[in-house]
Amino acid sequence: MKFIRDRILSGELLFSIGAQLGSSLTVEMISNAGFDWTWIDCEHGTGDYSELVHQLQVARLGNAPAVVRICWNMPWLFKRVLDLGAAGIMVPYVNTAAEAEAAVEALRYQPEGVRGVAGSPPCTGFAQHFDQYFGQANHMLTLMAQIETVEAVENAASIAAVPGVDVLFVGPLDLSVSLGVAKDFRNPRFEACLDSVVESCRRHGKAPGILTPSLDFLPAWIDRGFTVFVVGSDSILLTRMLGDIQGRCASLKS
């Protein structure tokens, strides 16, 4: 198992591409391209558990550890994903410190949490490396709490203060909708929320993360203090590339 938590908490700039198509081939491409980590989206992505098995198999063999966004803050979802060998979990719509605490408990084994222990799932090398995995899982697995609402921003400091929360990861589209400024990512109210999240992370030694609507936002958001990024997804990048190729081909017809 490869992990990424130490690099996150050191403040290193880390970049990922999202795997939303449920394809293990995409995960392999992301790793081969040299990205730092892989974001597998099981909230809005099209893949299900059967696809996730193969995606995480590929991720474990590559050099871009996978953080899986589950669809909701439910303990049984953590267990299923972590047993397959995910290096971390991203939890959507974390609005309060209590919700963050519940996520940490679901991520961790006793006595720090409630994750059930199994001796032979893929994360343990099918029992060959159980002692090693069990001994380090509570300290090496990453938890990213998504900040996607006005309420979450207001509670950002208390969420960041929860032990075991590593990243406050802004979902920009949901946050802009919550603010009533949908897709206006340069709106002063939206930018003030970004600054509040970054400040909360700095105060409590956590890493601020965000998904970039386009690479145009990346320099400014790095300057703002963000360090953990998802900079695109297989679905959007492929769609844009196909549209560009189709447009060039169509231009030759005229």
Q: Locate 131 and state its tokens.
A: 């002692």
Q: Looking at residue 254, what is its pLDDT? A: 76
Nearest to 86 by CA among 119, 41, 44: 41
Q: Locate 125 and state its tokens.
A: 């090398």
How many Cα atoms occupy the beta-carbon half-sphere of 144 within 13 Å? Answer: 31
**204 noted as active-site residue:** no
Q: What is the mean pLDDT of residues 56-60?
A: 97
Q: Looking at residue 143, what is its pLDDT? A: 99
Q: Looking at residue 1, what is its pLDDT? A: 87
99-146, pLDDT tens digit by residue? 999 999 999 999 999 999 999 999 999 999 999 999 999 999 999 999
179-232, pLDDT tens digit by residue? 999 999 999 999 999 999 999 999 999 999 999 999 999 999 999 999 999 999
Q: Scanning the structure block, which residue is given the tokens 């591409």? A: 17
Q: What is the pTM of this model?
A: 0.97
Flag whether pLDDT at 68 surpasses 90: yes
Confidence of residue 83 (pLDDT cuts 50, 70, 90): very high
Instruction: Report the percentage of the chain scoring pLDDT > 70.
Output: 100
Mind listing the domains of the chain with CATH numbers?
Answer: 5-251 (3.20.20.60)
Instruction: Report the percentage of the chain scoring pLDDT > 90.
Output: 99
- With residue 140 as reference, give the H or E element that holds it: helix 130-140
The single residue of 44, 54, 129, 204 carrying the catalytic annotation is: 44
